[in-house]
Structure formats: C-alpha cells, structure tokens
Amino acid sequence: MNASPPPRSPLIRTVDLAKDYPLGDTTVPALRGVSLDISAGEFVAVMGPSGSGKSTFMNLLGCLDHPSGGQYWLGGHEISRLTDDALSSLRNRRIGFVFQHFNLLARTSALENVALPLLYRGMGARERHERAAHRLRQVGLAERMDHHPVQLSGGQQQRVAIARALVGDPALVLADEPTGALDSRTGVEIMALLQQLNHEGITVVLVTHEHDIAAYADRIIHFRDGRVVDDLANAHRDAGADLAALSAVSA
C-alpha cells in the first residue's frame, strides 16, 4: 500500500469498509475491509476483474448503499449510518454520477435532463434552466440544448450526462465505465473533458477495466477478491494532447 500521507485533508476516508450480500442462508462478502483516503482534487481510477468488489466499492462511495461494516467519511462526515432520505440528499448535493449507458431520460431535452438533480432541491424552473444551460455550454453543447437524447451522438449524450453530474456543484464525480459504450476516439474526448474538470478542482473517481483509460488518472487502485491489492500513483497521460495527435493523424 502506498503509505505516503495525502497532501490535503481527505475528501473520502474509508476505514475497514465491508459489504456482505445475502445468498440463500449464507452471506457472500463482496468487500472485505477497505481502508483508503482520497483527497480533494485527485483523479483516481479503480480497476479490477468482475467480482473484485470495485462496483460494490463505487456504490458505497456513491451513497447508493449501506456498508455492512466499517466507516465511510465523506467531507468529514461519517455517513454509513445515515437514513435513506439523508443519503438521497447527500447524493443530490455532493455527488455527480456518470454511467456507462448515459442514463438520460428519453423524450426529454438535454436541458431538462441536466436540470433534473436540481428539481429534487425544490429549485424554481428558471434557476434550474440557467444553471443547466451554463453546464451544457461548459461541456461544449451550447447548440444542442433542446435536442432529445435520440438526436445526439453517443459522445454528445455522455457530455449531457457529465453536465448533469456537474449541475449540482458536487465535490465528487463518480464515473462508472464512462467510455465503455463509446468508440476509442470519443472515449479520449470524454477523458479529456474529465481531466479538464479535474484541473478545475473536481475530484473524479473512475471505474474502468481498460488500462488505456486508467492511464489518464493520477492514481490507480486495483481490487481483487474484495480487497485493495495495489494502490499506485500514476504519471497521467494528457488526453488533450492525445486528442490533438489523433486529429493530426486523421487530417
């Protein structure tokens, strides 16, 4: 394990975090005690084969599930004992999600999709739309705000999803295989966008099984059999430069 203390106070701290799933009369341990810190501003890639516990870990980080044991501190608050409603509110205010299959609402404009999290804050329509429009401009979709998901390419849909993850000004963006459904060039575009957001100060935790994609992170954590087996700093590749090179080749 990398023992070097984090330079800033950790945004995420897990202590012996464990999760068991019931299977018939027995329980299957999916996570067997994970202790790690992630500091604000880090770009972390989580890797591992299926069944390694990385998805379970991400669900716990995303406050979508309760741990069976251990503690999870997010932004200095221990949250593993919070009620379902409190977790919902926490997800709404502190966490943005990006999914492999985008999970946009069909028959709903890009703008409304992005504004969706703000609806659950009880925010008025005008402010919701202003903030959503701002985030769509940020991801380069100023011209596509009224388009529905079916009218957008895969890369554009994922940009809408990223704008939705950002609209609530979260401290943490959790990206679960964000490039899994995209061709490699579009995947690099999305990574460039995530890197750019990370430079602007947002903490990004990314799950992937592709080494090429993990290479864009500052830190790579490997899971196996419910444990962290490897936690290494990574001199990240610059997705922006890769994109420029790709453009030069195709030109």
Of residues 157 through 176, those in contact with another protein by CB under 8 A are 164, 168
Distance linking the first and last C-alpha atoms of the chain: 44
Residue 117 CB, nearest approach to another protein (Å): 4
Tell me: does residue 21 bind another protein (CB under 8 A): no
Q: 34 with 14: CB under 8 angstroms?
A: yes
Indicate the residue among 176 and 189 with the shorter CB distance to another protein: 176
Indicate the residue among 5 and 107 with the shorter CB distance to another protein: 107
Could you say which of 68, 92, 186, 196 contacts another protein (CB under 8 A)?
Answer: 92
Tell me: does residue 85 bind another protein (CB under 8 A): yes
Indicate the residue among 73 and 99 with the shorter CB distance to another protein: 99
Residue 188 CB, nearest approach to another protein (Å): 26
Indicate the residue among 87 and 239 with the shorter CB distance to another protein: 87
Tell me: does residue 93 bind another protein (CB under 8 A): yes
Of residues 43 through 72, those in contact with another protein by CB under 8 A are 59, 62, 64-65
Choose one: 115-123, 146-154, 177-185, 195-203; the region binding another protein (CB under 8 A).
115-123
Other Cβ atoms within 10 Å of 235 Cβ, number: 6
Residue 228 CB, nearest approach to another protein (Å): 21
Count of alpha carbons within 13 Å of 212, Cβ hemisphere only? Answer: 10
Residue 197 CB, nearest approach to another protein (Å): 17
Residue 151 to residue 113: CA distance in whole angstroms:
14
Order the strands of the 43-47 sheet from edge to edge. 95-98, 172-176, 203-207, 43-47, 219-224, 227-233
Could you say which of 15, 40, 82, 116 contacts another protein (CB under 8 A)?
Answer: 116
Residue type, 202: I
Residue 170 to residue 243: CA distance in whole angstroms:
27
DSSP 40-87: TT-EEEEE--TTSSHHHHHHHHTTSS--SEEEEEETTEE-TT--HHHH
33 dihedral zone (left: phi>0; alpha: psi -120 to 50; beta): left
Q: For binding to another protein (CB under 8 A), which residues are involved?
A: 59, 62, 64-65, 84-85, 88-89, 91-93, 97, 99, 103, 105, 107, 116-117, 119-122, 125, 164, 168
